[in-house]
Chain A
Amino acid sequence: MTRYALAVDIGGTFTDSVLLGSDGSALVQKTLTTHGDLREGFFRGVDDVLARAGITPTDVNDVVVHATTVVTNALIERKGPAVGLILTEGFADILRIRDEHRYDMYDPQIEFAEPLIPPERTFVLNERTWADGTVARPAEAEEIARIARTCLEQGIVSIGVCLLNAYRNGANERLVAEVFAREAPEIFVSISSEIAPQMREYLRTSTVAINAYTRPITQPYLTALSEELARRGFTQKPLIMLSSGGVIGADRAGRMPVRMIESGPAAGALVACHFSREFGLPDLISFDMGGTTAKACMIQNGQPLVTGSFEVDRRYRFKPGSGMPVTVPSIDLIEIGAGGGSIAWVDALGLLKTGPESAGSIPGPVCYGRGGTQPCVTDADVVIGILDPARFLGGDMPLDADAARAAIARLGDKLGLAPEATAWAVFEVVCEQMAAAARAHATDRGIDYRGLPMLAFGGAGPVHACRVADLIDSRMVIFPPLASVLSAFGTLVTPVQIDLVRSQVGLLDGIDRHETARIIGAMVTDGIEALSEAGLGEDDIGFGFGADLRYLGQQSELRITLPFDPRVTRDASAMRDIFEAEYVAQYGLKLADMPIELVNWHVTARGAPPERAAAASPASGTLPVPRNRTVWIGGKPETVPIYDRNALVVDQSIPGPVIIEERETTTFILPGWTLSLHQNGSLVAERT
């Protein structure tokens, strides 16, 4: 009997649904996201794919997985209910002082986002814990109860708690949670020792504030969604995609919404892992370009790179530093303000720039005919001839090529270039911008990007990927099938998994082994609990261990993966060896006599990777006769053959330049590349 798995990815614009059968059948639907009530769009897509498959909810006997932008939206819209914050007395302004850094040295007009939680809803508690974990001043239940009552009076529905050094000992924070549970059980409580038990008070407070702020929106949403699924006859409890790359039960995800930020893009990166396995390419780079941003992720040994912190909602000219930092494990995505809607302009020095300002989808590029007047990347793609104005979105959305050309021509006047040459220049500049970001990201992490195969998707990804690949010396680009709903598909090929981090600061040689055993033990227990909630048996759970180490005196850490359980192998020299090897790999040197300091432990609890895949049965035989179009490559006209993607056949390679069209995107292959269709339905371009 066929087993069915269902995935729904709610993004800012579209809600994507995928129904995947164990026979390899895949049904997809893309509907508009219903911002008023996200569940409406959710079930509209689900009903559609179920109806087309001719099955009922009870037939969905494999997983139901959900990725959603609800958390990110809540942070950007800032329309959430009243939320409070409890901090150590004497430190009430952590969110307003930040790290005292101006993120742009030269711009005197910089701004920061207002803290998520205002001063009037920030409370202080007379308590103190030292950096070694000693509770110097226990919190008083009486004082906490007073705060709880004030919160109720003020209509506060959720509270974040971040006390100094609670990463080391969360006893006082746990007392806050206990007293609130007694005095004000209806208030959601998020404590830092649970959400992000890591050193550095601003990062931790920011993370807890985000969690507290989004919880009253996310948790009821997920609960209602679970109930609605059950009511409709789905027997599976939904699993929720996390930004660290695993899926987890809805209850736990609802308590830790900060871990769901960027869950859609994380799912995109997991698709890259899936194809890395399918193609036997352990290292590759995923490249996802949409309307406003492009995202890339490095896959190493079949796993995405992860990071310990990132930033959300950059407020001032998209600049790093102008957003809110989050310190939870997350897939390490490079996000670049370069998409189809990025505006092209000429600066005071006469240089051609793309972005970061974006026309978005409304008004969108000039060619959309929705009132946009500034030339965008997509307009340049139309003028070059890569995009067919009559066949955009399968012809559902005709583009105004003349308007695009006029806008690009105005830009060209400032550069002294013809419209076609200008359009090509925009194409080049945006591709270089993405290549530059990818190079920086890779070298930051000690990865040699040259020669890495690339996996390209997203509406604008396949249009630009080949050129970006040129610029980073890549020799192969893979264009997977299901490109338009790839993130949703990604949630189905990811295991149940949770990534946990806790600080234990001390010299590697003198570390307190009992403390290590206690900390790792607590993390393992937590991992088992989380995965059990997601329906896994204890025997199905595997564990991975890692640590953040640095030379004594350094301030940022290097993450290493441990091939052993540090509770069992208490071998400091083994850890030193791994650290030094990694250090040499990244920085080209090691420091012989320098003591090494431990900062954090990492534990990953995960279930077995699922064996799901969409089967493709591409045709073989001969290629149809292509259409032709003039494409201005490098500013010169060339006649380029155009094929429909579903008309391609395996075992027939096509030399570039060539264009492949499908409903949601266009694949543009440059001269010097050869394209073929793989058995699994992917297009593969290789440097000739």
Chain B
Amino acid sequence: MDGAQLQILWSNLIGIVSEQARALQRIAFSPIVREAGDLANGLFDARARMVAQAVTGTPGHINSLAAAAANLLDKTDVSALRPGDVLITNDPWMSAGHFFDITVLSPIFRGDRIIGYAGSTIHHTDIGGYGIGAGARDIHEEGLWIPVLKLYEAGVPNATLFDIITRNVRTPDALLGDLGAQVSSGMIAAKRLNALCDRYGFDDIETLSDEIISRSEAATRACIGALPAGTAHGVSRFDVPGGETIELRCAVTVEPEKGEIVIDFTGSSARSPMGINVVPAYTHAYATFAVRSTLDPDLPNNAGSLAPIRLVLPDNCILNAKYPSPVAARHVVGMYVPFPILKGLAQIVPDRVVAEGSGAVWTMQIHGRDAQGQAFTSSMFNYSGGMGARATKPGLPAICYPTGVSAVPVEVLEAAYPIEFRCKQLEPGTGGRGAQPGGDGQRIVFRMRTGTPWLLNAVPSRLEVAPEGLAGGGDGAVGRFEVNGMPIRPAGKLEMQPDDEVTMITPGGGGFGAL
């Protein structure tokens, strides 16, 4: 296949998966999917290798989904799959690391043969159990566990499963609406992939996927091959809700002759009693994100480009969650995975890395009663701090990094809930100083316009340990979380009084290079 033919076919595949994602994002209910874009879509070949991903979503979802298809199919009698079958799971170890993320996988038939799979993972609004936050004591407190099952069998909904889901979550309408969106986006992908095969006279996409995956893998290995051999070490420390300080240590070994990078997390913090443990797939997702975005951001993301990056995870490690550890707030630790790797890579390719930044986005959720006594539960919304500086560019202020979500507009929240924002603006001076300064964090102040007590479920991090500057750059400022001007360290749901005012100052990013 020459470079022109392949380009045309490949862009067709990316078109299919992007179309699938846009349909999903438009019809989904969960605001975190729609306004924040917390979703992933992937197209897989018949051997469950991801050949194309949509250009939306978050690294945590996309790269977890890459592994999820094979995981689901391992538990499925593939030979017994029929047109109209749809597989589902939210098993944290098989998909994206917590129950909220439900993965749906639809086989794509051409005649009576499976030629591929369309997969999607989205963050659902609620999955029962403890809800958002790190407070559950084991995974079973965290909600409904859906093993690998058929959601649809030959086009017929699995009524038993739908009943179980409906009875076990707080917002069944939103969840079923979002599941419906996942299923119909898979149908679109199946239709489009068949149309592509018709257009080009293909029986399947195996030759095409071989070509895509092998070229992507070769290009990734070539990128790694251009780096000097050796091992570099990186450490990132940060505090999480409840005050615990986590340390992620890694040894990044570049093996240019094999074209591989091995990341060994030996020496990192042990498993936590809090729901912040990270399953290997999610760790892998953010680790490969760090490597790939540093090597060459234009490399495609698929099974081939992910293969040359290997992980070593010690047994008792916060990045290697084991049953029955709680995992619901795994992003609080998972979103820091790139930083020790980047610090290691800084010794190898200093011009391409990003200094430490605020890390995990601060998430919150509010429950209460409005002035008419009507109960409300907000969706989860999130705010970011400053991004670390780059070698030749400053860090961006108040922007999600490494994840790829958006903040819900103030006016959207104020229209939906009895919340009053008093401030949302940049906090000058929070970004680290340096030849290139880190991005500033932001100050967010709000109160509730309710006459009754309300519950706040806030997940801030980096209140004690600041993001470090790189190459002589200054540290970013730590974040601050205050109620009525008093600093507090929320570790679970906080009971709030009607007039309480919450102030959050998100951390600034680290600077790059001495002034």
Contacts and interface: CB of A to CB of B under 8 A. Distances in A.
Interface stretch (B94-102, B418-426, B491-499): B418-426
Interface string A106-123: 111111100000000000
B246 to A, nearest CB: 23
A348 B411 contact: no
A351 B29 CA distance: 38
Contacts of B412: 199-200, 555
A140 interface: no
Interface string A422-437: 1001101100110010
Most buried by B among A92, A93, A130, A440: A93
B426 A199 contact: no
A36 interface: no
Contacts of A105: 55, 57-59, 62, 289, 293, 404
B103 interface: no
A90 B289 CA distance: 35
A439 B354 CA distance: 37
Given A417-B4, A443-B19, A101 B301 contact: no
Given A96-B426, A415-B2, A556-B26, A436 B37 contact: no
Most buried by B among A97, A200, A346: A97
Interface string A352-382: 1100000000000000000000000000000
A100 B424 contact: no
Contacts of A512: none
Given A97-B425, A105-B59, A108-B297, A164 B410 contact: yes
B401 interface: yes
B398 A97 contact: yes
Given A90-B445, A131-B411, A349-B219, A112 B396 contact: yes
Describe A's contact surface by its main secondary structure. loop
A104 B383 CA distance: 18
Nearest to B304: A349
Interface size class of A (residues with CB under 8 A): 35 or more
Contacts of B296: 348
A436 B9 CA distance: 11
Interface bin, chain B: 35 or more
A440 B415 CA distance: 32
Contact of A99 (B5, B23, B29, B409): B409
Contact of B173 (A104, A422, A505, A593): A593
Among B353, B411, B421, chain A packs the most CB atoms within 10 A around the CB of B411
A111 B184 CA distance: 35
B187 interface: yes
A422 B218 CA distance: 24
A96 B394 CA distance: 14
A554 B19 CA distance: 19
Given A93-B425, A96-B426, A201-B411, A554 B34 contact: yes
A351 B3 contact: yes
B397 interface: yes
A91 B384 CA distance: 16
A348 B35 CA distance: 34
A457 interface: no
A467 to B, nearest CB: 12
A589 B181 CA distance: 9
Contacts of A352: 3-4, 7
A90 to B, nearest CB: 4
Interface stretch (B10-18, B261-269, B328-336, B451-459): B10-18
A594 B421 CA distance: 29
Interface in B417-473: 420-426, 442, 445
A436 B12 contact: yes
B8 interface: yes
A97 B442 contact: yes
Contacts of B297: 104, 106-109
B407 A131 contact: no
B400 A101 contact: yes
B31 interface: yes
Nearest to A87: B425
A164 B411 contact: yes
A682 interface: no
A351 B10 contact: yes
A114 to B, nearest CB: 12
B2 A106 contact: no
A474 to B, nearest CB: 13
A201 B409 contact: yes
Most buried by B among A428, A588, A593: A588
B384 A100 contact: yes
B411 A553 contact: no
A426 B7 CA distance: 10
Nearest to A422: B4
B426 A425 contact: no
Contact of A429 (B4, B404, B414, B445): B4
A218 B477 CA distance: 44
B253 to A, nearest CB: 22
Nearest to B27: A587
Interface string A605-625: 000000000000000000000
Nearest to B409: A200
B188 interface: yes
Interface of B: 2-8, 10-12, 15, 18-19, 22-23, 26-31, 34-35, 37, 55, 57-59, 62, 173-174, 177, 180-181, 184, 187-188, 215-216, 218-219, 222-223, 289, 292-294, 296-301, 352-354, 383-384, 390, 393, 396-401, 404-407, 409-412, 414-415, 420-426, 442, 445
15 contacts: A90-B423, A90-B424, A91-B410, A96-B426, A102-B396, A104-B297, A105-B404, A106-B289, A108-B352, A165-B414, A352-B7, A428-B8, A440-B18, A443-B19, A587-B181
